[in-house]
Amino acid sequence: MKQLLRYLSVLLVLGCCVISRAAEEDEILFGSKEKDAAGLIAIIYDLKQTQARKPSNVSAGEYPDVIKEFLQKGWDELVLNRFFRITRPLYSTQIFIPQISANVAPKAYGVDNVMRPSAWVIHYKGQVSPPEDGTYRFVGYADDVLAVAVNNKTVCIGARPDMEMKSIWKSTDPQEGANAFNGNLVYGDWIPMKKDEPIDLDVLVGERPGGEFGAFLLFQKQGVTYGKDRHGKLVLPVFQLAKQNIPGKDDGRSPPFEKAGELWKQHK
């Protein structure tokens, strides 16, 4: 009996270690806490609270209105600054988050004790340039919303239909991208870019009701031939600023992807 109890105790410890490691790996998907880390600055906002930590009265129904206001006003941070903002940012070299629990985001920032996992947004921003001269477009999707801006102009929105973002921006490409969790990747606007010539890149992702979350940012270069998945959809490279593990596989939790031959460059 004692040996059995000892064996069960060891299994319990090992199980706890595995769960803890898995939780840490999920939190890292949102970025690094190190101040000197490379990557886009990622700031999280809780739209349910004001900066004074009072209820903002932003309901699930009003959540899309805040997102629309922010985008319509040219990604004006004054709109988001009305809400509770975590002053300590994360630093992210990619945005590729397979289906996970929405409460991982507050945990990643260390604020899950004061922020419920609903009605939050994360604003990523930085200056970047492509691996080589060419015409590129960003491709993405998130549940509930992902938006991309280049030099303060919205160039891509991938969101659930009930977010009703087509009044803000609509893709000129009628084809659907690859399946991405519970939606499809959306093709953004084509933009000429030059190597080592920085652009201002902003990305917004957000979760409306809580529950499950996923977000994906990839890119396509005009004139390049890409492979296709079993459904005939393009398999595109993930946007990355540094070599990093890309989580996910063909299990429905994330879109198919390929690793880019060369990384995008960050400008500080």
Q: Which of 244, 169, 253 is nearest to 216 (CA)?
A: 253
Task: Give me the pLDDT at residue 16, please.
Answer: 35
Cβ count near 4 (within 10 Å): 8
Contact at 8 Å (CB) between 41 and 126?
A: yes
Whether 122 contacts 205, CB under 8 Å? yes
Is a pLDDT exceeding 90 seen at residue 190?
Answer: yes
pLDDT at 149: 98
Is the pLDDT confidence value at 22 over 70? no
Contact 165, 248 (CB under 8 A): no
Q: How far is CA 96 from the centre of its chain?
A: 6
Convert the pLDDT of each residue in 32-46 to its tens digit. Answer: 998 777 899 999 999
Read off the pLDDT of residues 200-254 as tens digits, 9 standing for 90 and up: 999 999 999 999 999 999 999 999 999 999 999 999 999 999 998 898 766 678 9
Q: Cα-flanking dihedrals φ and ψ of residue 254, to 5°?
A: -155, 160
Quick one: which of 164, 168, 197 has its CA closest to 156? 168
Number of H helices, E strands in the chain: 4, 17
Average pLDDT over residues 88-113: 96
pLDDT recorded at residue 250? 61
